[in-house]
Structure 1
Amino acid sequence: MKYVDEFRDPGKARALLREIRALVADIPVCRRRPLQFMEVCGGHTHSIFKYGLETMLPEEIEFVHGPGCPVCVLPMGRVDDCVALAEHPSVIFTTFGDAMRVPGSKKSLLQAKADGADVRMVYSPMDALAIARANPDREVVFFGLGFETTMPSTAMTVLEAEREGIGNFSLFCNHITIIPTIKAILDSPALTLDGFLGPGHVSMVIGTAPYDFICRHYGKPLVVAGFEPLDILQSVWMVLGQIAEGRCEVENQYRRVVPEAGNDPALAAVHRVFELREFFEWRGLGSIDHSGVRMREAYAAFDAERRFPVPNLRIADPKSCQCGEVLKGVIKPSQCKVFGSACTPETPLGALMVSSEGACAAYYNYGGVRLGKPDRRNDGGRLAPAETRQ
């Protein structure tokens, strides 16, 4: 297939749904309870709701929304550190747009900007480096965040800053790693999962081999999935096929983008600039060993945490906010007691309502606030985007 509309073909969707229903009918456990599949990536969550996929699938299949939204898992204390850096009088603080409205304990970066801080939205770390070139008398800090998907571009920007001798550029590093996160979820006693839809963009960098432990040690099948409707339906069909046949493997549905061995140049840049932290704190998941990276000593001159004082405090989320339970898959967004009332995209209490990959934003934008839970209608393969909230 060459064109995006081919990945949204209703006829192919109906064929996949028929195959999925046939497999479900042959899996004995489905007669007792739904199968729970975690889509790790927030991009998958939004596609599932945007195209109404959950309403098409049989009731024996239930999606559990994972923590694969890097803005959503950022703890409140790290947002406070961003604000402190942004309010330093010599600093131009640069960030992706998703992070602008994530609430800290006192304010967000957007509120800090309104109060006079020089906070600028950029589309890439190279944009931040260009700002540093254009403002040699100012310190430019880039807020580096994201899984292995965005690590390479950040690392390559640091290497370019070193090559050009740009001394007024630094990185506030909050990059995180996917594998320890999945392991922490699998070790959680409160969650029972039958399989995974693996993250497509992360896998484009790291490949598929790092997921082998999920099958080997935990006995859960994983299929690396693309983001179009047919990608997700085919990935569900592939996971079901493994369960029906008694197999447990890592399979790659997203072969057109994801190489089995990963991207060597990207990984080389990451390993040159970054090293694993002993531990990193996650919103809702607590401290996870080796789940984040920091800058190596050789690049200390580009490390904002070494160049500027930051509070580095642990701040608890508001008691009314249940982002942690949603991130761990324990509850659905619509089950949070403040969802759609005190917490909306206009007045977010938690990051999951802010980010374009947040599960709460997906539920709110595609009908969850109106329905309380997804409508389980089976419409036979309609793949137009689901009606948004009026």
Structure 2
Amino acid sequence: MAALLSFDVRADSLEGTNGTTMTGKIVARDDKFVTIEILVSGKPTQRKIPVNLVKAITVDGKREVLGPGGVAKPGAPAGNTGVQRSRPEIEALIASAATPPDWLDAVQLNLPKSLDLSWPEKAEGPWNNQKNMGQYIWDVINTNPSKWREGVRLMHHVMDQNKADREMQMRASAALAGMYHHLFQDYPHAAYWFRKAGTRQDPVGLAECYWKLGNKAMAVELLTGLRSIPPTAIKLWADMGETAKAIQTGELFAKSGSADLGYLYSADALRLAGRYKEALAYYNKVLAVPDDKRNKRSKDRAKGAIEAIQLFDTLDIAKVADGTYTSSSLGYEAPVEIEVKVAGGKIEALKVTKHREKQYYASITDTPARIIAKQSVKGIDATSRATITSEAIITATAKALQSGQK
């Protein structure tokens, strides 16, 4: 699968209170929403963002701060602008998300007739993304941004068709929460549906919603109450600036029998904090774990991260000659290829020109935008649930920039 997504500093941009930036054309705004048109898979796509989730917009080169998230606190962790909300404010935001987005009514169901809406717990027969619901979501919805809204409509349809089935309601709620969280970064709706998911809830996803919405204390309270430790918790601790807690959790995870993942996520936490020497030590711990089929991907990630850090030490964007540079780095499925344009010692545009990633979620758009916004490849927060793709973009960009360094 290929994507051609470009970001140009001369275009309009929308900065979210969650730390992400979208670049394209602001086409409409009112007291409730800002609508921005971006390129997704080469096609213009409009996204309508609630004003309370917008930090600032830039139109024709003029930046306008819209809300309380507009001023970041010094030292705020990557991925968070410093906006703070009280628990009642968070609860009000989540309660308001009981109402679906205004675009939902206009979305039509567009399903293969062979799709089994009864959604058996265990898919029958060989892999068939035209029959099995989970495989349809994985292969067709998640990998096609033009179908993301259809995915939301589908989950509402499944719930409507199975109102008396509590288990089905929870499964569809969990899937819906994941779509709002991973695909749209719509954290009020994601949190609302995570809560509806019951025993199928993703507690780390819900904690991340609390943090991104502006209440770190609620996120910490939820994480510290977990009985089991998923590796995604390590990343969230790191994203929130709690590096020591991330390392502690990573070490516990490593001792539980997944040494490669525990060390890898600990290394990622140190890398995000700019503690590169310590990060390298942990990445080398990953490489020292005895080889088996399960840890090959972790080792590949560690090798890529070591390469990136070595590039960081010598890279100075101000010394990169004007021009357009290309490079690639291994993603989840295959190399991710990028093209970066530099002018006047600054990154002017960055695009992913080719990839075969499947579950890339928002990383293909968010990671280039974050690199341009920061004018650096250091300390870039990888997109949740798409860490490998994000890191591939960061490493490929570093390689491309170094090739043009004077």
- TM-score w.r.t. length of structure 2: 0.25
Greater RCO, CA 8 A, separation 6+? 1
- TM-score w.r.t. length of structure 1: 0.26
